[in-house]
Amino acid sequence: MNELLSELKNSVISQLDVAGEASELIPYGNGHINSTWLLTMQEGENLQRYILQKINTHVFQRPDRLMENICSVCDYLRKMVLKEHGNPDLECMTPILFRDGSALYRDDAGEYWRCYLFIENSCSYDLAKTPQMMEGAGEAFGLLQKRLDRFAAEQLWETIPKFHNTPNRYELFLRAVEEDVCGRADSVREEISFWTSRREDFFPVYRMLQEAEIPLRVTHNDTKFNNVLFDRTTGRPLCVVDLDTVMPGVALYDFGDSLRSGASTAAEDETDLSKVSFNLEMFEAFTRGFLSQTRDILEESEKEWLAFSAKLMTMECGIRFLTDYLQGDTYFRIHRPNHNLDRCRTQMRLTADMEAKMERMKEIVAWYC
């Protein structure tokens, strides 16, 4: 790491428009896409820490557009936080500029870099351990939606085209079944049948967006629990991070994806399906937090489909896992044979359990609306 620090001192770090001398650089977090380090700059006795990242351009092929989105949203959020008399250095991400005035730096090897102010006294968790933590995540994602309510989504680039286009995901799945490039389709007919029997459920939300029955909004699109920072001292939610997929979307996607991951009783790749179920207590906690911030900005058409959106995002994820399995495991990183098939089966189990509990889920949403 000392060698990397010395190397970056003379290239990327030297180009940052910050004070002090780089004194430490250590790997940070457990993200699987970008490469991330915690950078400490020292000026006399004063220390300031930053998050330094090398952007994965295989996933984000237009890093310029990626950072244009992030800077636009962060600038807007900072103004909103100040208007609320909050602390923008704690409550939203702060991109750090390079000496040329840009938030993006391209090194001699063609790699792209960016930097953020590190949010001190914060922490994140992979899973919610209590309903109170889940409610805090709901509040954080709801507050993000509320603060961006008047931001024109059309201003933003679509950094990953058709990311939550569920009809398109379904068509890609059908194509993978038909092409069967790895000869695996016959062994997973039960899984294929499970998803094709629910074909009609993949279409209504996207159709409503196309017909302007629900609004286009600025959405996060990757609302995992570990993308919320909490205050180490108070346990309160501080800030939503990882804005790489912030782009035009539907509020239902953010709500649903949080619950797909956060309200499951088991890991995404659990092989013992008897452990997999949908936790209504966690669902209610997140819903309570989310709607505490959004009940006055969401349209009735959005509220009506909130419960269903948890199932929709679970279905989308399930067919993506099965599609990748049929295509030879080329997208999601696997660590064992049939890993994507195991992931698909957990989403099937979750989907079926949500279907059994859907009326209760709708009652919970209605209560907090």
The H or E element spanning position 105 is: strand 105-106
Tell me if 42 is assigned to some domain.
Answer: yes
Token pair 């196309």 is at which residue?
A: 210
Q: What distance in Å separates the CA atoms of residue 330 and residue 184, rounded to the nearest whole number?
A: 14
Tell me if 81 is assigned to some domain.
Answer: no
Percent of the chain whose pLDDT exceeds 90? 89
CA distances 150 to 73, 146, 154, 162, Å, are: 11, 8, 11, 23
Q: What distance in Å separates the CA atoms of residue 217 and residue 219, rounded to the nearest whole number?
A: 6
215-234: pLDDT as tens digits = 999 999 999 999 999 999 99
Q: Write down the pTM of the prediction.
A: 0.93
pLDDT at residue 357 in the model: 98
Total structural domains within the chain: 2
Same domain, 135 and 115: no
Same domain, 246 and 221: yes
Tell me if 253 is assigned to some domain.
Answer: yes
Same domain, 308 and 235: yes
Same domain, 152 and 19: no
Tell me if 105 is assigned to some domain.
Answer: yes
Same domain, 346 and 297: yes
Token pair 């620090």 is at which residue?
A: 5
Same domain, 181 and 105: no
Residues of the domain holding 162:
131-368
Here the CATH number for the domain that contains residue 242 is: 3.90.1200.10
Same domain, 104 and 157: no
Here the CATH number for the domain that contains residue 26 is: 3.30.200
Number of helices and strands (H, E) in the chain? 12, 10
The SS3 of residue 109 is: coil
Same domain, 31 and 143: no
**What is the radius of gyration, based on Cα positions, of the chain?**
21
Q: How confident is the model at residue 208 (pLDDT cuts 50, 70, 90)?
A: very high
73-127: pLDDT as tens digits = 999 999 999 999 999 999 999 999 999 999 999 999 999 999 999 999 999 998 8
